[in-house]
Homo-oligomer: A and B are copies of this chain.
Amino acid sequence: MTDFTATRAMFDLPEGVIYLDGNSLGPLPRAVPARVARTMTDEWGKMVITGWNRAGWMDLPARVGDRVGRLIGATAGSVIMGDTLSIKVYQALASALEMRPDRRVILSDTGNFPTDLYMADGLCRTLGPGYRLKTVAPEAVEDVIDDSIAVVMVTEVDYRTGRKHDMARLIARAHEHGALVVWDLAHSAGAIPVDVTTADTDFAVGCSYKYLNSGPGGPAFIYVAPRLADKVRPALSGWLGHEAPFAFDLDYRPGPGIERMRVGTPPILQLAALDAALDVWDGVDMHDLRRRSLELQQIFIDRVTAGCSELTLASPVNGAARGSQVSFRHQEGYAIIQALIAEGVIGDFRAPDILRFGFTPLYLTPDDVAKAADSLCAIMQNRRWDRAEFKTRSKVT
């Protein structure tokens, strides 16, 4: 059994705060500051350029990639870290489209996170006439897959509602029709059990700063199915994805397997932070985590539903159909979240009307969640959100 008291002790949680926003940015794992300090002072400071060899910086994207890979069911050597999720989406889509030269349609859904749609759109424009992004309602994705679709690109868990796609079924259906799949795990990796190998996806991408707690702007990851990794032709053909980067050849030759999905020089400080953050996962069983997450969600839903009927559940009622978050709708969602933050409960708002709460068993207890629900209900009952100070929008909502 996973010891969630032990994992909680591994975080430096802000005092007086109940943090229900680990689905946006995970909190600081205690091991991170010392590790990053060591990377700066003992590695960069003392080894300078030789750190690329002596401190193993050059291999860090692959080593850390393997650690992330274990959390998503990937075999060793099939995941690599780097860049941002937007860039990794572009890489995966470009590679997938090139493998289906007779097809020109990317299929996605309106519940996907916008950057995935924007990047797809930008890629289609670069590829030229005929290429297009088709978006349908999340529930309709499976039904519209046909032999015209080159790539199905979906984020498993909807960032607004927490609704979860049945990926195994969707991938099987895409493959039946000869389409490839890019599976965005932004709200899955570290949140729910994922098995990219058994589900047989072609590509998977995700970020590390949410449930993997790597800190603001931590690097993204990309998985390419081993059966494809030596066949994909990188569109973002950067020097560190070259077969022999330090030969400095004038012509690009892709490196072996997943290495070719590297682009430029990797962000070593952020990778060191992520590497330290991943220690938290060493004793965690993803099925224990899932069970606990669903318990926490249920406590929250029951209490909020009972205590403040003004809020409408925006997430599926059935836990199996949700990721690790619960959302409610209210027209004054923005102000309500601000009022809640002012009382030490951090959730977040997603336009136009979503109040969103992430449930992260690594550091949240049933008691935290019950208290958070009670705070929310008290704010609703006393209309404490109804103040000018809570209605002024910040740059980042």
Contacts and interface: CB of A to CB of B under 8 A. Distances in A.
A371 to B, nearest CB: 17
A86 B263 contact: yes
A206 interface: no
A117 B250 contact: yes
Given A21-B48, A248-B350, A126 B125 contact: no
A45 B12 contact: yes
Contact of A58 (B57, B85, B396): B396
B83 A236 contact: no
Interface in A332-347: 341, 346
B27 A48 contact: yes
A114 interface: yes
A99 interface: no
A25 B49 contact: yes
Contact of A45 (B24, B28, B40): B28
Contacts of A251: 121
Contact of A90 (B49, B135, B218, B236): B236
B351 A248 contact: yes
A119 B94 CA distance: 14
Given A126-B126, A264-B220, A341 B269 contact: no
B397 A246 contact: yes
Q: Which size bracket describes the interface of A in this complex?
A: 35 or more
A78 interface: no
A394 B48 contact: no
A247 interface: yes
Contacts of A273: 40, 269
Contact of A216 (B94, B237, B265, B396): B265
B351 A246 contact: yes
A278 to B, nearest CB: 16
A242 B28 contact: no
Nearest to A88: B264
Interface stretch (A31-39, A63-71, A174-182): A31-39
A321 interface: no
A24 to B, nearest CB: 5
Contacts of A233: 125
Interface of A: 12, 14, 17, 19, 21, 24-25, 27-28, 32-33, 36-37, 40-41, 44-53, 57-59, 83-87, 90, 94, 110, 113-115, 117-119, 121-123, 125-128, 135, 160, 207, 209, 215-220, 233-240, 242, 246-252, 263-271, 273, 341, 346, 348, 350-351, 394-397
Given A25-B48, A25-B52, 8 more contacts: A14-B46, A57-B217, A83-B84, A86-B239, A114-B242, A122-B237, A217-B267, A267-B270
